Amino acid sequence: MATKLVIVESPAKAKTLSKILGKNYVIKASMGHVRDLPEDKLGIQVDKDFEPEYRNIRERKPIITSIKELANSASAIYLATDPDREGEAISWHLIKAANLEKDKIPLRRVTFHEITKEAVEQAFDNPRAIDMKMVEAQQARRVLDRLVGYKLSPLLWKKVLKGLSAGRVQSVAVRLIVDREREIQNFVPVEYWIIEADLAKKGPGEKNFKASFVGLLGERKLDIPGKDRCDEILADLREAEYSVAAIQKKDVSRNPAPPFITSTLQQEAYRKLRFTAKKTMVIAQQLYEGLHIGEEGDTGLITYMRTDSTHMAATAVEEIRDYIHSNFSREYLPKTARAFTKKVKMAQEAHEAIRPTKASRTPEKIKGYLNKEQNLLYELIWKRAIASQMAAAVYDTLTVDIHAQPTKKKKAYLLQTKASSLRFPGFMALYIEGLDEEKDEYDEGTSVKVPKLTENELLRLVELYPEQFFTQPPPRYTEAMLIKSLEQKGIGRPSTYAPIISTIVDRGYVYKDSGKLKPEEIGIIVNDLLVKSFPNIVDFNFTAKMEDELDEIAKGKMKWVSVIRSFYSPFEKDLLNAQEKLEKIVIKSEETCPECGKPMVMKSSRYGKFLACSNYPECMGKKSINSSRGASAAAPEISNEPCPICSKNMVVRKSRFGKFLACPDYPKCSGKKTMQRKPFGDGKGKDSDSKPETADEKCPKCGEPMVIRAGRFGKFLACSAYPKCKTTKKILPDKQATDEKNA
């Protein structure tokens, strides 16, 4: 019987699927994309309707060859890549790269949002064709980003500094951070005062309670701008008569948050676990693809983690409600199931929120099978999903209006005292949503002590407490706050939030200071250039509109070429204008030249950024850039090797050929040394973390087993006796290796 070929992205997903599908299926991992635009040129034929020039990725050639071989003996090919635009595009590229259409073998696209037996079997029972609208939407995004990146980067190199780059969505994120930093720098604190009063019932032994000054009776809240005005109000309050004007008691319900979508998972994982967005997505991918869970075999633990829908399948909701019914008392289960709708443009309700694939699989049950970080994230997802179907929390609240009538004035002042106590915890017995602010008004669930009062009852003033404050600048963005802002503005989509933040940090435009995102000087310079010369590129509304148009392409309502053309025409004009009119920007530093004392400026070479004398070429003074921020700007690592010329301890430098040792006094002293390679598996190299995989081959020179190693050009075979024996050998594709063996 001919086997059926299933292609997925990752080995972990392949392993999980193999347990579900059985021996009649061969499952192959593509390791992500197998085709992409070339790195060494634009790769887009602008004058031919922006036709992309795709190339097979060199590192994927053995995989493509293997897929071709497996396809020759397959009765059908199932493309089971992820259920989003990126996954759809990967499947389409696989067909083109491996030429899977040529033999008329049935090609079937299958999608599932959770890797469970039921979901996978249902998907394979209901295959479909490749959705070219989704492919074109992904292609449009790729082409847009390539046009911006490859057209703007040369301009930045010429006008600012070599090595710089710009991105369509990333540049908008940098602008948010730069704008916020300027708000903070330009912020002028404004003085204000608040007044609290200690009051008590009339009579001996009555306990005090606090009330806050609100303003004049019947008017809006009165701001107290300075001490003089505060003293006037204090004088009135000291000789006023106090009485209870109104007492209001009511129940306040607090409903649970919806189950996670990508953005809210990233935000909450940062708030509660201090996970970066990138780290959250890596761990979520592991939970989605599946791990061995006791006797239950291999299964995915959560649904697909790139989603903008808060919808949960009816069967999942029912299972969660059954769990609540069995593990909590009756009042914790609402009479009807909760339904959530996400107020996000293009939220795909056919997709699901991020939830556990089985409600009964509690974090405690699988704790021994997960590492610490996996367990923490799974617990967060599990609790959020279960809590979303639980009853509301109920607070008893009390609001007391108190009138203070000065004897010499007609109009009274209003003071208020508020108290709340948690009567029924509801969902809060399991989970409380984190906030960006330091304190949630409901979190404590404690009550301010207020004595039993009646309307029109007279009170006595015990003491007044004025306090001076100053308004505070807006806070810097954390990762969670930035993702929230991007989502609210309609910028980016579930798959892009984590890469956006990683990219702007890796490029050196932004750095993290105690978890807060701050712009580097180079980030501010590039942002200002883009704002001035390419206003659309960094315009929030324009970028959000582009996202909407990409969504319209996915729905088949717009053509991708027309969307690209409408963007490119004005962009090209701005580019030509900037090339002609923009002057070279010199990045000054606070450092002075060690040779002549003149100011130094930032320069760039193939070895990285450095400081050079502004009087170049008359003065050749240089300095390395020392900073505690980021690997790219960090102080060089000092070695124990002496310089062969001046004997000073050498420092580790990098070139395109790897690391080497150089004299710290370069360019005064040009001493250099190559770094001695460490043997494989010496406890410090990449290969020491896990035992290398042994190949089914012996070393042709010494007869010792060969092992699989990884180099910058891919995997290869090396003698296990290295460094005594330095024999290496290429890893051949399966068919070529068989042919050579037979020969």
Q: Point out the residues that are catalytic.
A: 304
- Other CB atoms within a 10 A radius of the CB of residue 147 amount to 21
Say if CB 287 and CB 378 are below 8 A apart: yes
Q: In what order do the strands lie in the sheet with 588-592?
A: 588-592, 599-605, 608-613, 622-624
Write down the residue that tokens 């004025």 correspond to: 466
DSSP 31-51: -S-SEE--SSS--EEGGGTTE
Residue 471 Cα distances to 225, 475, 673, 698, angstroms: 11, 12, 57, 74
List of residues 6+ apart from 509 with CB closer than 8 A = 174, 519, 520, 522, 523, 526, 527
Angle between helices 372-387 and 262-273 (to 10 degrees): 120
3-class SS of residue 182: helix
Give the C-alpha separation, 37 to 275, whole Å. Answer: 32
Show Cβ contacts of residue 544 under 8 Å, excluding neighbours closer than 6 positions: 489, 490, 491
Q: Which helix H or strand E contains 122, and what residues bound it?
A: helix 117-125
The residues near 332 (Cβ < 8 Å, ≥ 6 apart) are: 324, 390, 391, 426, 427, 429
Cα 36 versus chain centre, distance: 23
Dump the DSSP string for 285-326.
HHHHH-EE-GGG-EE-SB--S--------HHHHHHHHHHHHH
What Cα–Cα distance (Å) separates residue 187 from each residue in 190, 475, 478, 528?
9, 11, 19, 20
- Give the dihedral sign, CA 699/704/709/712: negative
Four-point Cα dihedral 173, 177, 180, 185, nearest 10: -150
CA torsion, points 19, 22, 23, 25, in degrees to nearest 10?
-100
Residue 680: helix, strand or coil by DSSP?
coil
Residue 606 near residue 161, CB atoms below 8 Å: no
Q: Which residues contact 497 (CB under 8 A, 6 or more apart)?
A: 262, 263, 266, 277, 483, 486, 487
H/E stretch holding 12 reads helix 11-21
Whose CA is closest to 199, among 234, 241, 236, 231? Answer: 241
- Quote the radius of gyration of the chain (alpha carbons, Å): 33
* Tokens standing for residue 406: 């000065």
Place of tokens 């490859």: 150
Region for residue 380 given its phi and psi (left: phi exceeds 0; alpha: psi -120 to 50; beta: otherwise): alpha
Q: What CA–CA distance (Å, rounded) separates 166 from 38?
A: 18
74-79 and 3-8 strand pairing: parallel
